[in-house]
């Protein structure tokens, strides 16, 4: 009983909707970290107008996001009982939490999973929508972000490289939290069914990611001994894109996973995962999160050949190529000719490497707990 009294409490305010199955939130914060702390998670909902407490989860109507501390106070959540309050990605929520810090006495952490402001700005440039006012807006948002960040007790970027590129000189103690593997979910490599080489691409399709470069490359592959699965939250958009590539339409399946279990089944059915992204700062300062889905099932990933990806993987456990059509075609043809044995060996090597490094959520939880104890 006395041990429970000494356990510290953490409130993690996510930017995720209720029922969202999210890689890091689930195993790290709602899983392994609970071995060390009492962790409560806040989710938002667009579809309900009432507050809900479900065990250690709170579900809050989205319209109360910017006044979340006052709202939770009214709903009898004792904010003064929490030692730490973390906010994920939302500057408006962070602002409210920082204003309430002195009143309740908790320490504040800010988690950035991805530099979204910079991504939006880069996407506008790609789509030729960049304007003078857009540049000013991006600058002001960056200034506001840095001002809020400087008031935090702990900053949790996805990587040190991301911090140095997008959040330099914040003066805040940082603890990078990259994506990782959940040891409870890992499976050995399983050969895909049939004779074809089965590829899978998991994630968003948009102009900044330049996914069509990959499709163009597939149209130029000499062999037809392949199949591509595209697993995305927006299948209709993917179908629209595929309408421009009728010559390979019968070689591509567009699928959707409603939860992490479904996604793992989809990945497990394939041989190689595609995680190729343009070599620009918003993508080259962190290893793509989707590769963790691939190596969970011990399937090797195709990665953009850049220093960040090379800092974690080698030619023994990943498939590298530069992000241009010619190199992608060459690498795809090489993979199609590889033996299942060599692919499995590469997948297991990558999986073992991630589990033994700090890309293991159980290890990451222990180290984050130590960091919190030192604040």
pLDDT at 295: 97
CB of 330 closer than 8 Å to CB of 153: no
Please, where are the H alpha helices in the chain?
2-6, 68-74, 91-104, 116-126, 132-149, 160-166, 212-220, 235-242, 260-268, 281-284, 290-296, 307-312, 325-337, 340-356, 361-373
CB of 351 closer than 8 Å to CB of 198: no
pLDDT at 17: 73
pLDDT at 121: 39
Q: Tell me, what DSSP letter sits at residue 181?
A: B
pLDDT at 142: 61
Q: Provide the CB-side half-sphere exposure for 298 (13 A, CA).
A: 19
pTM for the full predicted model: 0.87
Tokens coding 43:
């989710």
277: how many CB neighbours lie within 10 A of its CB? 21
- pLDDT tens for the chain, 375 residues long, are 334 458 999 999 998 876 555 556 789 999 999 999 999 999 999 888 899 999 999 999 999 999 999 999 999 999 999 999 999 999 999 999 999 999 999 999 999 887 654 444 344 444 455 454 454 445 446 657 788 999 999 999 999 998 888 888 888 999 999 999 999 999 999 988 888 999 999 998 988 899 999 999 999 999 999 999 999 989 999 999 999 999 999 999 999 998 889 999 999 999 999 999 999 988 999 999 899 999 999 999 999 999 999 999 999 999 999 999 999 999 999 999 999 999 999 999 999 999 988 799 999 999 999 999 999
Question: What distance in Å separates the CA atoms of residue 210 and residue 213, rounded to the nearest whole number?
Answer: 6
């Amino acid at each position: 009983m006395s041990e429970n009294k000494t356990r510290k409490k953490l409130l993690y305010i996510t930017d995720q909707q209720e029922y969202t199955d999210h890689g890091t939130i689930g195993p790290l914060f709602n899983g392994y970290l609970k071995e060390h702390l009492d962790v409560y998670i806040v989710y938002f909902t667009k579809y309900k107008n009432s507050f809900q407490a479900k065990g250690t989860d709170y579900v809050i109507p989205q319209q109360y996001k910017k006044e979340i501390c006052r709202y939770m106070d009214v709903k009898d959540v004792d904010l003064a009982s929490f030692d730490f309050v973390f906010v994920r990605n939302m500057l408006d929520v962070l602002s409210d939490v920082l204003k309430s810090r002195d009143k309740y006495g908790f320490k504040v952490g800010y988690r950035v999973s991805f530099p979204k402001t910079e991504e939006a700005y880069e996407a506008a440039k790609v789509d030729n929508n960049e304007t003078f006012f857009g540049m000013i807006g991006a600058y002001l948002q960056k200034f506001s972000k840095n001002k809020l960040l400087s008031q935090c007790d702990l900053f949790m970027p996805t990587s040190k490289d991301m911090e140095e590129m997008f959040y330099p000189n914040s003066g805040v103690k940082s603890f990078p939290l990259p994506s990782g593997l959940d040891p409870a979910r890992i499976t050995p490599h399983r050969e895909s069914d049939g004779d074809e080489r089965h590829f899978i691409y998991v994630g968003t399709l948009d102009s900044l990611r330049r996914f069509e470069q990959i499709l163009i490359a597939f149209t130029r592959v000499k062999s037809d001994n392949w199949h591509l699965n595209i697993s995305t939250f927006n299948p209709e958009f993917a179908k629209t894109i595929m309408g421009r590539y009728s010559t390979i339409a019968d070689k591509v399946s567009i699928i959707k996973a409603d939860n992490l279990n479904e996604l793992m089944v989809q990945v497990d059915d394939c041989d190689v995962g595609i995680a190729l992204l343009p070599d620009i700062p918003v993508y080259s300062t962190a290893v793509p999160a989707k590769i963790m889905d691939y190596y969970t099932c011990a399937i090797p990933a195709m990665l953009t050949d850049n220093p960040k990806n090379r800092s974690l993987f080698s030619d023994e456990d990943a498939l590298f190529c530069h992000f241009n059509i010619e190199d992608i075609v060459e690498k795809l043809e090489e993979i199609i000719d590889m033996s299942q044995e060599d692919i499995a060996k590469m997948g297991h090597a990558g999986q073992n490497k991630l589990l033994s490094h700090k890309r293991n959520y159980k290890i990451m939880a222990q180290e984050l707990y130590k960091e919190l104890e030192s604040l």
